[in-house]
Amino acid sequence: EIGATQTIYNLFPAGDARHAWTFGGTSAGIEVVKYPTTQGFEDIHVIRYGEVLLILAEGLARQGGTSNLEEAVGYVNAVRNRSGAPLYDFGDDLTTQAEVLDAIHLERRLELAFEGEYWFDLVRTDRAAAAIGSNFDVHEALWPIPVTERDVAPNLTQNPGYGG
């Protein structure tokens, strides 16, 4: 359902084993081989330990403070270590809250590639407009509120861009 781009293909650092776990090559181009299926159109949602670690890391990083940021980097490194990607050194590679949050965002993109999380990460972190560019309309970050919900809650207003 989700096609690969050259950008995500090239985003993995050298030595990161997740690249081989995610992509295969064909004469027609890049092929995503993560979670191969035999039945066709399965709708599988998986939450893995790596994702839990990255959620924890982001929570700590958002709290701020040197000890929280250092602990957050430790959780990111736990995910990177498994894949063989180079580890971060807090205070050397990453020094600010913004840098740690950027590293977590990148790690989520690599670790959770093609698992259907990226759009929600972009919206949640207010990065959707920057990632999509001029073709992005802010209302696209919100879903319309179903009329059935608005019928039972008359003071609820529709999200912008979806009419009354």
* Cα 23 to Cα 34: distance, rounded to the nearest angstrom: 7
The predicted-structure confidence for 50-100, as pLDDT tens digits, reads as follows 999 999 999 999 999 999 999 999 999 999 999 999 999 998 999 999 999
Is the pTM value of this prediction over 0.85?
no
Joined tokens for residue 46: 């998986």
Q: Where does residue 9 rank: exposed (0-12), middle (13-18), buried (19+ CB within 10 A)?
A: middle
pLDDT at 1 over 60: no
pLDDT for 34 equals: 77
Which residues fall within 8 angstroms of residue 121, CB to CB, at 6 or more apart?
105, 108, 109, 127
The predicted-structure confidence for 4-56, as pLDDT tens digits, reads as follows 888 888 899 888 888 888 888 665 678 787 766 666 666 666 788 999 999 99
Q: DSSP H helical segments within 64-113, as ranges? A: 66-83, 97-111
| CA-based nearest residue to 26, from 42, 9, 14 | 9
pLDDT at 151 over 70: yes
Q: What is the DSSP letter of 39?
A: S
Task: Answer whether 62's CB lies under 8 Å from 83's CB.
Answer: no
Task: Answer whether 4's CB lies under 8 Å from 23's CB.
Answer: yes
